[in-house]
Amino acid sequence: MLRLQGEMIRGGTSKCWIFDHHDVVATGVDADTLLLAAYNAADPRQIDGVGGASSTTSKAAIVRTSTKPGIDVEYAFAQVGIGDERVEWASNCGNCATAVALYAVHNGLVPITSDSTTVRMLNVNTRARLTGTIPTPGRMAFDEGTAAVPGTAALGVPVLLGFEDPAGSTTGRTLPTGHAVDTLTGPVGGIEVSLVDAGAPAALFEAKAFGLQGTESLAEFAAAVPTLTTLRRQAALAMGLAKENDPVSHAVPKVGVVARPAAYRTTDGTPVGPDDYDLAVRMVSMHAPHPAIGLTSAVALATAAATPGTLAHRVARQTADGTLRLGTPAGVITARAVPAAQGASPTVLLHRAARRIARAELLVPVLEGRPA
Amino acid sequence: MLRLQGEMIRGGTSKCWIFDHHDVVATGVDADTLLLAAYNAADPRQIDGVGGASSTTSKAAIVRTSTKPGIDVEYAFAQVGIGDERVEWASNCGNCATAVALYAVHNGLVPITSDSTTVRMLNVNTRARLTGTIPTPGRMAFDEGTAAVPGTAALGVPVLLGFEDPAGSTTGRTLPTGHAVDTLTGPVGGIEVSLVDAGAPAALFEAKAFGLQGTESLAEFAAAVPTLTTLRRQAALAMGLAKENDPVSHAVPKVGVVARPAAYRTTDGTPVGPDDYDLAVRMVSMHAPHPAIGLTSAVALATAAATPGTLAHRVARQTADGTLRLGTPAGVITARAVPAAQGASPTVLLHRAARRIARAELLVPVLEGRPA
């Protein structure tokens, strides 16, 4: 039985285990084997492991201090299988980045030199650069805070999460096709789409093209999901993310619909008025409506809404200071695009929260280099 | 933020957190408040806590060494709410008892004096007495083992779990009504039932009364569940577990159907022959088919099958040595009734397994004596 130190940290609406790279190396087995065993990935209930048996609670990040200029911490994000002995290393997770920042501050991966500490992070999966800024009044790291995010009533330490130079992060271009609007083949003819790459590649449609307002409940939006997942494949091909004979990705690009603000109720029943936000959005997560919005998708939305000619720009309320309030099923999430130096695309900032749940020594059943 | 030491241990097919009574007391807040906050019980996803957001992964036991004669360890079992700020203290859990035994051996709550160590436990919720016997070769406690239980492929340390003098544990009588068979009112007239109290109170019907073989898949058995839950209320009244005006319990008594052995396939597709087991059983868990069988229900079955005149005795293959192999949807679980001294009812033994998953310090968000 291997031993492995880890911290269970809530980042936003995800639960992530954070491990130190050196601890992982010290076990002598590869990270895939270690995580599959620690989470009991083989079991759909993950009953013999630390995983929570849902996509938002079967996540890990492996962190290390960085020697790269301008980077404090590098992390590899892992989506650990549920009833599936595979670890997916292809994506980034903004919620886990939030957790990584809190971990870094508490575990001395960055020095605390003032009342606020910024952790400069590199996501090694996608090469995305992020910052996490955490209050450290009196040069102290705190476990408690009163920050909240839509999707949970729990409170945590405020983390201002920044996506640095997010435009073209996957394809090299904000608009991979060179157009602000393209046309894909919908179920009843051509359908307009904006194909955007910032934070993550995203294919954004107007809600009205599906007969929707963009303010639907999760159950109402579910009816559009099969068509959107079909369009995802076309979008992947158009953006150069996949070739004809590649297997179909159920995760890339992100797909969803946007609309002008209108009154709606969040999933927990809270009323949201048309003046409470700037852009209505309903995103798809794999094959189901996303309960809120992934943070990398929020970055794509913020970038799209600031790019003239896109469908998001067409329907979003324009603000003077780069703030964009996204009306999601869980509530309003505010993204802010701020100008960056040296020709980089605007940094997108999101107000998030994180909380350390537990510090643990995991007993990991690895036998002969494989999950037991 | 309170700090609380705990161990996450798999016991059989449940994941239980085990806490030391003194650590709980030292926090200065009551156990309900502590567990509700630690598990984030308020959230249906338990995203800000250590709970796994399912009934089998939202369990805790609080243990202490005992000064009572013949008892090593006392434990209180807690079923922590999921999207429901309540802790249920009314029942026992055999899987968590298995975890408690492993915890006791590893944490010095019992001395290890030979190659096998028996932990004598008192469940303070129900006053049930149990034993957990664990191999300790060379007077050492081990983390690894090769024991398995139906319902998970994971391996663990073998734990021989004994329910001591289980008959009449709730009502004082093995047959609370004084009859081996009673008649309740079914959807199409009278329906025979055996009302048994051992390990837990149970209402056992013949599968054929529902047009079933007793070897159905979970999906097939689900059709009978609404009728069985209606009959549960009648059984509760007949057994004196509830009065007419009491709220309806969805947990007490246990209800299920029994039948003669016949060939079937387990949920994971493994074929089971009619000679591989002695009694077919399909139990209900709250409002759904139980994926296997609760251990206290297994005790009730073993006791019923050994009691002449009951429906279980009528259909079970009788064995000479008190062994009863139960054919459950997850596979075959063997219970063995062995004679006890001093007029006590036979001890029921079950072969189980447990594994320590993690040792942790929990950070519990309790503010002003309430979950944050």
Q: Determine the pLDDT at residue B250.
A: 82
State the helix-helix crossing angle for B94-106 and B295-305, rounded to 10 degrees. Answer: 110
Q: Determine the pLDDT at residue B141.
A: 97
Q: Is residue A369's pLDDT more than 80?
A: no
Cα nearest neighbour of B57 on chain A: A47
Listed in sequence order, the residues at least 6 apart from A307 whose beta carbon sits closer than 8 Å to its beta carbon are A174, A175, A180, A196, A313
State whether residue A224 is helix, strand or coil. helix
Pairing of strands A264-265, A254-259: unpaired
Three-class SS string for B50-90? CCCCCHHHCEEEEEEECCCCCCCEEEEEEEECCCCCCEECC
What residues does A240 pair with on adjacent strands? Answer: none
Same fold, B2-165+354-367 and B182-335: yes
As its CATH architecture, domain B182-335 has Roll (3.10)
Q: Determine the pLDDT at residue B367.
A: 81
Q: Is the ipTM of this complex over 0.90?
A: yes
Listed in sequence order, the residues at least 6 apart from B265 whose beta carbon sits closer than 8 Å to its beta carbon are B217, B271, B272
> B10, A356: Cβ pair inside 8 Å?
no
A145 close to B (CB below 8 A): no
CA angle A35, A163, A174 (to 5 degrees): 110
Q: Determine the pLDDT at residue A342.
A: 81
> B14, A43: Cβ pair inside 8 Å?
no
- For chain B, the structural domain boundaries read 2-165+354-367, 182-335
Q: How far is C-alpha B211 from the chain's CA centre?
A: 28
Name which of B13, B52, B363 is nearest A143 (Cβ-Cβ).
B363
The one-character DSSP state at A5 is: E
> A154, B53: Cβ pair inside 8 Å?
no
C-alpha distance from A98 to closest chain B C-alpha (Å):
14
pLDDT averaged over every residue in chain A: 95
A360 close to B (CB below 8 A): yes
Q: Determine the pLDDT at residue B91.
A: 87
> A360, B363: Cβ pair inside 8 Å?
no
> B47, A53: Cβ pair inside 8 Å?
no
Q: Determine the pLDDT at residue B233.
A: 96
Q: How far is the C-alpha of A223 from the C-alpha of B106, rounded, in Å?
A: 53
Query: Cβ of A213: how many Cβ atoms within 10 Å?
Result: 17
Q: Determine the pLDDT at residue B254.
A: 96
User: Span A2-165+354-367: which CATH code?
Assistant: 3.10.310.10
Q: Is residue B369's pLDDT more than 80?
A: no
Three-class SS string for A334-346? EEEEECCCCCCCC
Q: Determine the pLDDT at residue A370.
A: 81
Cα nearest neighbour of B144 on chain A: A1
Q: Is residue A145's pLDDT more than 80?
A: yes
Q: Is residue A372's pLDDT more than 80?
A: no
Q: Determine the pLDDT at residue B336.
A: 95
A residues 153-172 near B, CB within 8 Å? 153-156
The one-character DSSP state at A156 is: B
pLDDT averaged over every residue in chain B: 95
| pTM for the whole structure | 0.93
Cα nearest neighbour of B353 on chain A: A48
Q: Is residue A290's pLDDT more than 90?
A: yes
Mutate to test the interface with B, among A8, A47, A54, A103 (most CBs of B within 10 A): A47
State whether residue B11 is helix, strand or coil. strand
Name which of B1, B154, B155 is nearest A43 (Cβ-Cβ).
B154
A42 close to B (CB below 8 A): yes
Q: Determine the pLDDT at residue B87.
A: 95
Q: Determine the pLDDT at residue A91.
A: 86
Mean pLDDT of B169-192: 94
Q: Is residue A368's pLDDT more than 80?
A: no
A182-339, CATH topology level: Diaminopimelate Epimerase; Chain A, domain 1 (3.10.310)
C-alpha distance from B330 to closest chain A C-alpha (Å):
14
Q: Is residue B289's pLDDT more than 90?
A: yes
pLDDT tens for A217-270 read 999 999 999 999 999 999 999 999 999 999 888 889 999 999 999 999 999 999
B250 close to A (CB below 8 A): no
Judge contact between A157 and A353, C-beta under 8 A. yes
Q: Determine the pLDDT at residue A250.
A: 82
What residues does A20 pair with on adjacent strands? Answer: A63
Q: A121: closest CA among A161, A88, A87, A90?
A: A161
C-alpha distance from B253 to closest chain A C-alpha (Å):
26
> B365, A56: Cβ pair inside 8 Å?
no
pLDDT tier for residue A341 given thresholds of 50, 70 and 90: confident
Residue B325 φ/ψ, nearest 5 degrees: -95, 115
Mean pLDDT of B42-67: 96
pLDDT tier for residue B97 given thresholds of 50, 70 and 90: very high
Q: A62: closest CA among A27, A19, A22?
A: A19
Q: How far is the C-alpha of A83 from the C-alpha of A60, rounded, in Å?
A: 16
Q: Determine the pLDDT at residue A249.
A: 83
A30 close to B (CB below 8 A): no
